[in-house]
Each structure stands twice: as C-alpha cells, then as structure tokens.
C-alpha cells in the first residue's frame, strides 16, 4: 500500500516538474525543476530495487550534469527571462507532434503482448551483481566507454579554447 | 506482471512514455538551445526508467548495465554540447535557435 502511494507520488512529481521545466520562462528555474525530476526518477529506481543505479543517477545527473548546466546558464547570463519570439503556429505544431507521438506509443503499449517473466529472485540492483555483469559480459563496451570519454574531453577542451575561428 | 503491489510494468511504461513525449515537446517548443539540451536529457531518462522497469520484470542485470552506458553517453554529449554552446555564444552572442540559422541555406 505504501509503495503504491509512493509510486503515484513520485510519478506525479516527475511529470509536474517535467512540465515546469518546459513552461517556466527563467532558465535557472528550468534547471532546478529538472533536478527535481531526476530526484523523483531516482526514487523510482529505489522502488524498483536498483539501489546502486539510483545512487549513481543522483551523483552523475544531479551532481555533475546539472551543475554543468547551471554553470553555463550562469556564464551566459541567461537568468533573465527573454521574450519568446516563436510563432503560435510553431508551438501548436510542436504540441501536436508530441501528442501524436504519445498517442502512438500508448496504443503500441496497450496492444503489446505481455511476456511471462522467468520469476527470478530479484536482487539485481546490488553492486555485486551489477559488477559481475559489467566486468564479465560487457567488458569491451566498458573499455570503449573510456575511449568515448577521452574523445569527449579532448573535444570539449578544444572547443573551449579562446582563439578558435 | 506486477512489479510492485498493484503497479504493473505498464504503469512504468506509461510514465516513461509521458516523460519522453514531454521531452520531445520541449525540444520542439523551446527556442533556447540550453533548454532544448535539458529536454534531450529528459528523454534519455525516460528511456532509462523503462529499462530499469524491464530489468525488474525479468530479474536480470543486463538492462541496468545498459542504463550505465546511456548515462556515459549522456555525460559525454553534455560536455561536448555545452562546449559548442559556449563557443556559439562567444561568436554570436545568443543561444536562440531562431537567430542561429546560418546553415539554413
């Protein structure tokens, strides 16, 4: 009973703050609402027995990525609301496209056939099990991720240089 | 298939679809490039949520490892994307995508 209420509360919080990200005029408010969305998604991970993933999610997203966003908003001095010059037609088209996308995906989910899960004992979210899977079955993608990070780091440093033309 | 008491996997898929479409709507609706980036992050997180729900449904760990890799790609994307935005702002003094249309042709 308690977990059910927690699910609905976290879902409502996530959807509400996702709306607030889009509809708030001030970019700093958008960043803060997005952090709230990430925290509620981390709560969902806790409910789904993915504790390590929840901790990593909070550390990576709320701790690193959103701080980066906040720094950029601060450095670009965007914290005053700027006027929206978009035409109403473009806004209407955007809402229509997203709504149609949602309708299609909900229809697909309703029609989808439910598999019968194996009913395995669920302690999948512990560090031990995740580590075994990551370092045994996914070792090559893990190493390639480091190459990706190196490339991203070099690219970010190069792009941030002063005298780029 | 109930993941929690009275909560099936379809509830999680519905929430994931809702968040994903909100992210897509934000990308189409907002004109500020930073907010569009944040909406892309929202879409990635919606997919992560559905992957974790599937992981709970099947009792395996592979989906959670995939979530790790999505986080890796998101972090790399944010680093490079924000560097590009900073450079754009330094050269053009705006992040408004209605103004940044030099490549429109």
* Domains of chain B with bracketed CATH: 7-93 (1.10.287.3510)
The whole-angstrom distance between B3's CA and the closest CA on chain A is 8
Cβ within 8 Å of residue A65, ≥6 positions away:
B41, B74, B75, B78
Distance CA(B97)–CA(A124), nearest Å, equals: 43
Among chain B residues, CA nearest to A122: B59
Contact A120, B47 (CB under 8 A): no
A25: left (phi over 0), alpha (psi -120 to 50) or beta: alpha
pLDDT band at A103 (very low <50, low <70, confident <90, very high): very high
The confidence score (pLDDT) of residue A123 equals 66
Find the CB nearest B78 among A7, A41, A68: A68
The confidence score (pLDDT) of residue A122 equals 59
DSSP secondary-structure letter at B96?
B
Contact A29, A81 (CB under 8 A): no
For the stretch B43-79, pLDDT in tens is 999 999 999 998 888 888 888 899 999 999 999 999 9
Helix, strand or coil, per DSSP, at residue B17: helix
pTM for this predicted structure:
0.89
A/B interface, count of CB pairs below 8 Å: 224
Cβ contacts of B51 on chain A, cutoff 8 Å: none
Helix, strand or coil, per DSSP, at residue B4: strand
The structural domains of chain A, with segments of one domain joined by +, span 1-80, 126-165
Among chain B residues, CA nearest to A29: B35
For the stretch A60-90, pLDDT in tens is 998 889 999 999 888 887 766 565 666 788 8
CB-CB neighbours of B63 under 10 Å: 21
Helix intervals (H) in chain B? 9-29, 33-58, 62-92
Across the interface, whether the CB atoms of B60 and A105 are under 8 A apart is answered no
What was the ipTM of the complex prediction?
A: 0.91
Phi and psi at residue B60, to the nearest 5°: -115, 175
- Write the class of the CATH domain A1-80: mainly alpha
For the stretch B76-85, pLDDT in tens is 999 999 998 8
DSSP secondary-structure letter at B7?
E
User: Which tokens in the block code for residue B31?
Assistant: 């004109």
For the stretch A26-50, pLDDT in tens is 889 999 999 999 999 999 999 988 8
Dihedral angle of Cα A112, A118, A119, A124, to the nearest 10 degrees = -100
Across the interface, whether the CB atoms of B79 and A153 are under 8 A apart is answered yes
Cβ contacts of B35 on chain A, cutoff 8 Å: 21-22, 27, 30
Q: Tell me which residue has tokens 């919606």.
A: B46
Cβ within 8 Å of residue A21, ≥6 positions away:
A30, A33, A34, A37, B26, B35, B38, B39, B42
Distance CA(A118)–CA(A116), nearest Å, equals: 7
Axis-axis angle for helices B33-58, A27-47 (nearest 10) = 0
């Amino acid at each position: 009973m308690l977990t059910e209420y927690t699910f609905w509360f976290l879902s409502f919080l996530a959807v509400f703050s996702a709306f607030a990200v889009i509809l708030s005029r001030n970019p700093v408010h958008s960043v803060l609402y997005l952090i709230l969305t990430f925290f509620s998604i981390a709560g969902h991970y806790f409910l789904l027995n993915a504790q390590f993933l929840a901790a990593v999610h909070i550390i990576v997203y709320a701790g690193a990525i959103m701080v980066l966003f906040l720094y950029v908003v601060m450095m670009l001095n965007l914290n005053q609301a700027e006027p929206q010059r978009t035409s109403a037609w473009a806004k209407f088209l955007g809402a229509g496209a997203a709504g149609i996308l949602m309708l299609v995906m909900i229809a697909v989910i309703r029609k989808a056939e439910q598999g019968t899960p194996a009913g395995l004992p669920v302690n999948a979210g512990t560090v031990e099990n995740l580590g075994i899977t990551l370092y045994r079955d996914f070792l090559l993608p893990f190493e390639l991720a480091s190459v990706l990070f190196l490339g991203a780091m070099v690219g970010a440093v190069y792009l941030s240089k002063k005298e780029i033309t | 298939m109930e993941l929690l008491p009275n909560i099936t996997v379809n509830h999680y898929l519905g929430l994931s679809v809702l968040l994903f479409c909100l992210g897509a709507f934000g990308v189409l609706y907002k004109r500020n490039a930073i907010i569009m980036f944040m909406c892309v992050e929202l879409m990635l997180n919606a997919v992560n949520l559905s992957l974790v729900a599937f992981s709970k449904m099947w009792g395996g760990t592979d989906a959670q490892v995939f979530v790790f890799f999505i986080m890796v790609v998101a972090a790399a994307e944010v680093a490079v994307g924000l560097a590009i935005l900073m450079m754009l702002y330094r050269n053009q003094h705006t992040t408004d995508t209605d103004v940044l249309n030099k490549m429109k042709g």
